[in-house]
Amino acid sequence: MQKYYICPECKGHLKVGEYIIFAAKNQKKESGLLLLHPKIGNYDSIKHPSFKHRKGEAIDFYCPLCNASLVSRFDKNLVHVIMMDKDKMEYDIYFSRIAGELSTYKVSDDSTVMSAGEHSHRYTFFRIPDKLKKYLHSG
């Protein structure tokens, strides 16, 4: 099924071809492009070998179109993008920006949360729907 990934700031399309494209910076402030697989729970990624990061390192994610930081406002370890399905239904997608940490969450309008990844239990925030509601759509 065709899905689109959209920058929450400029609404630009981040998915081109088979991958979602991000501008990224490691902790040494070295820049690179990071291509992530659009299927939730699939952690395949593509980068140029000159862009290096260590396991456990926090990667800064930016929109390649408007340069906005995509780090979530409510948890600095998570990246926030919008996913739109073919029926134009929008979902908030959050995933860990810690290299090697496999955690992804898909949040619907009605606060339904789908989590994926073997480390998704680390962000217990997503198990508390009432607390989550006030943060919905605020990034």
Binding site for Zn ion (CB under 5 A): 7, 9-10, 12, 63, 65-66, 68
CB closer to Zn ion out of 10 and 46: 10
Please, which residues have CB within 8 angstroms of residue 121's CB and are 6 or more apart in sequence?
A: none
Nearer to Zn ion, 78 or 81 (CB): 81
Q: Considering the complex, what minimum distance in angstroms separates the CB of residue 52 from Zn ion?
A: 25
Q: Which residue number, 95 or 126, has a Cβ lying nearer to Zn ion?
A: 95
Rounded distance between C-alpha atoms, residue 41 and residue 60, angstroms: 20
Shortest Å, Cβ 34 to Zn ion: 15
**Least Å distance between CB 56 and Zn ion?**
27
Closest CA to 96 of 68, 67, 125: 125
Our CA angle for 110, 67, 120, nearest 5°, is: 40
The label of the residue with tokens 């299927």 reads 39
Cα–Cα distance list, 66 to 29, 63, 80 (Å): 18, 6, 15
Complex with Zn ion: residue 58 or 68, whichever CB lies closer:
68
Closest approach of Cβ 7 to Zn ion, in Å? 3
